[in-house]
Structure 1
């Protein structure tokens, strides 16, 4: 059994977590000041989103120096103190590895001798579109050639076909590991192998080769690391290969299927109604598909997704119950759970009145392109309010005071007004809060092997309101129930009375609105 199978990871988005110097932007010292909060929650790993020097075109995912800290976030000395503080509390540190692309202000991009470290063509060889709207090929007026950028035009894609690129990246990765880092979350890593002629940039022809080479060069002589790859458009079959320990590539991947069930097939902005059966189908398929080979990551939220209690739950009257239920359902699956900052408080989507309230380049670019093409501004804003990434990036809600206790200055993006009643200070002192429910879920994963390693069986597959599954290991069983509706209901599961040793919730198979329950028993 690998250590990460019973671990829980907490993601910090530094820009929005805690500001120590009053400039309105979160920083490393702000995180250092909150380490005891993370220890109290009980997490095993902190995943730190980018803190590197950056022009901040894409909020730090456009990196201009891979081996330093942006002054807005602090210094390398601050990073070392953060790392030491986490390790002293028994918490590992994983950092973002963003190597599909750099900033156009990175020295590599500006060095004529490294021109072939990127993708340059005299004319665009295909009609690829950027994920942030517009063509993916940008004309450089100085050279008269086009370079590839699958994201912002200020994020040119690295050419991984060049072995010197791979060598430089491996050297950088070893540098961070030598500094005490415990692993990497690899941003859109399955885009690094591309076939321009065939029009392929997801899971390209040399992906496995590149990952195995990376493992041999960087990880082979190190133990206890966590290696997770963000992989849009990855299938279960591909994930089995990526996460098969015998292949020495990755420990787990972030797949996107479950966070696309309320979207159209071609655009995240094409809103569809949430269907519980669709969620069960995708989760169940991934649970079954990686049961014997590989490992699942489990997440609802991250810096790119709207808040789950607003998205799949109820952020009104039943917010607390819905947040607890969603946490219960996710954490008791088989896989490693990820908690995004504020999720443990039941933080919700925020309020956006006009386009001027948004900060994210993806949302701003989409609005401009869609309105220019004739779409109704109100319709575009409706989609942005529901799916925009800024929902996840509002300040962490520490107190009911000014700016949610995030900063003494003016925050780079306003705090959600509901911080007056949704905040960490209130939650920590309330034993019935979402925070303490998450503490309990994390404790259970540490204590019960059936949660980390047990078999998974989906129950009530066709039920449109109740998510139900069982877990089993060595004579022990769990039954997990989640009510995804505002109605009370009685559940019938063959062989269960619901009176046995409730882990979460009370006895009996009766669920209140948005309530989650879990029961434990010895197998018959």
Structure 2
């Protein structure tokens, strides 16, 4: 086991850079959802050796870092975000030795590795929660979590009116060891994910130990799951929905920042520009900047891309850059991830959609060939902006949301907690295709896959796109290489006048960027084309097309 904290040499450099030039400010970071990336042992579930075996493909793509979703010991009630042991690898994914091998292999290829940390809640299978269940109310074991007496006659009603993010009440009542109804425990997500009480020093001490365990192994940072909800308002008051979810008593409470300042002091003890990335979906936008002040975290995700409209996006880009710049932090552009509808589908939806995912009864889901142009244009927009850019696995292949999953195959707890009213996130988590003609499209050594793969995977498989100069994979490779060569990640954006309002037009350094979000072709200014998301004819930019040009 390696416990060295010496930084690996990445892209030929080691140690800290000058302030303002740190790698994470302009990096392209690729998210791996381990269950669905590559299966080495043939059980139909992706694993760490499978990732290691496929690293050359990510090196060829040109990304700077990898973000690895949870691989810890877990009963997998929520895809690994229900952690039973934070300092070991679930046998489903391999061993701690497999992790060390993956980390070393990534570093050898010039890529850093960020891992998920899940501090808001644990699994019900965590030793602490098992201990809490066996302990009486008021015990130290229960104090690590948020246990409360119920309201109403005999405590039959939950302690407050909070609702789970996955549907239904955010409280579950215990049956005590003697069979009597007992206390209630809080879970902002599934009932298998009890929330920690972060006012307790024992919880804080334990997570410092967990962070050091992975930092000592050499990880380059952490993506912090649910970073906005770890602190709850004193007294756990009822939530008034009219106030808005972003001001709920479990979102963005001031106490969370004390936690992260403590974490930042710990991280700064380690060399090599390690990084914290916050999942903090709070609004208005200026509140999100609180997570990336100089003494707290380094990045916070930005859900900018939710509407295909040029003026709306221009305002959002301006606001994002201004807000994050005000605290000295870079913008982090995230168009999709393991919790969202894939971008090759979501930006072309036309009909009303069920909340929490789409499926067979959804309307307005376009044909794949009709929606791919927007996804390709969006890729050029994301990669042209100053700051860091995140790519969710499979977006470089142009994969669509899988909408035809049968109910019997679904595994997202949202689907079950809402009685099927919300489909959940399985459609973006289907195992990705590597070889068009292989069983299971090359995901593993046989056809096994934990979610069924659609026939279109053959057309979109990586080996087929490798041979196609017009493929989405080729577009991503070219864009990432040009982004680095042109210094776009560390550049400065200015808007270009003279185009119709349906065209998003800006300059970043020596590169001009145009995205036609309207319905009519637009004549471009004269210039030399660097890269286009679709073929240009007579210097005309077709609808749903983006182009990079020399300034």
Q: Same fold (TM over 0.5)?
A: yes
Tell me, in whole angstroms, the C-alpha distance in 2 between the residues paired with 1:257 and 1:438.
20
Q: Which residue of the other structure, out of 477, 484, 498, is the alignment partner of 2:526?
A: 498
Q: CA deviation at 1:467?
A: 2.8
Which whole-Å CA distance do the structure 2 matches of 1:320 and 1:165 have between them?
46
In the alignment, is residue 398 of structure 1 matched against residue 434 of structure 2? yes
Report the Cα distance in structure 2 between the residues aligned to 1:450 and 1:275, rounded to whole angstroms: 23
CA distance in 1, matches of 2:503, 2:89: 46
Contact 2:26 2:386 in 1 (8 A): no
Select between 195-204 and 336-345 the one with higher mean Cα deviation.
195-204
- Structure 1 contact 54–62 (Cα < 8 Å) conserved: yes
- CA–CA distance in structure 1, aligned partners of residues 204 and 260 of structure 2: 10
Please name the residue that 2:277 is paired with. Answer: 228
How many residues are aligned here?
A: 480
2:478 paired with 1:440: yes
Q: Can you list the C-alpha shifts for 1:210-263, whole angstroms capped at 9, x where unaligned? A: 110111134334331121000122433223332233xx211110134644x5xx
- Structure 2 unaligned spans of 5+: 1-20, 151-157, 240-248, 349-365
Show CA shifts across 1:182-202 (max 9, x none): 100000111111115355111
1:250 has 2:292 as partner: no
1:420 equivalent to 2:494? Answer no
The answer to whether residue 499 in structure 2 is matched with residue 467 in structure 1 is no
SS in 2 for 1:301: coil
Q: Could you tell me how far 1:434 is from its partner in structure 2?
A: 1.0
- Whole-Å separation in 1 of the counterparts to 2:35 and 2:514: 36
**Which SS does the other structure have where 2:263 is aligned?**
helix
SS of residue paired to 1:421: helix
Q: Does residue 283 of structure 1 match 2:320?
A: no
* Residue aligning to 2:245: none
Q: How does 1:313-324 map to 2 (within 5 A)?
A: 313=348, 316-318=368-370, 321-324=373-376
1:371-386 equivalences under 5 Å are 384=423
Secondary structure at the residue paired with 1:68? Answer: strand
The answer to whether the Cα contact below 8 Å between 2:282 and 2:288 also exists between their aligned partners in 1 is: no
Cα distance in 2 for partners of 1:352, 1:296 equals: 35
Q: Residue 410 of structure 1 aligns with which residue?
A: 448
Provide the rounded CA distance (Å) in 2 between the counterparts of 1:413 and 1:459: 47
- Does residue 479 in structure 1 map to residue 479 in structure 2? no
Between 218-227 and 505-514, report the one with greater CA deviation.
Answer: 505-514
Q: CA deviation at 1:61?
A: 0.4
Secondary structure of residue in 2 paired with 1:469:
strand
Distance 1:459 1:77 in 2: 55
CA contact (8 A) 1:126 1:196 kept: no
Contact 1:288 1:456 in 2 (8 A): no
TM-score normalised by the chain length of structure 1: 0.86
Match in the other structure for 2:355: none
Gaps of 5+ in 1: 262-273, 371-379
Question: What TM-score, normalized by structure 2, do the two folds share?
Answer: 0.82
- Counterpart of 2:17 in structure 1 is none
More displaced 10-residue stretch of structure 1: 331-340 or 345-354: 345-354
The Cα RMSD (Å) is 2.3
The worse-fitting range, judged by mean Cα deviation, of 274-283 and 86-95 is 274-283
What does the per-residue CA deviation read over 1:45-100, in whole Å, with 9 as the maximum and x for residues that have no partner?
Answer: 01000001111110110000000011111100111111111011011010000010
Instruction: Verify: 1:364 aligned to 2:397, yes or no.
Output: no
**Aligned-pair CA distance for 1:448:** 2.0
Cα contact 1:503–1:518 (8 A) shared by 2: yes
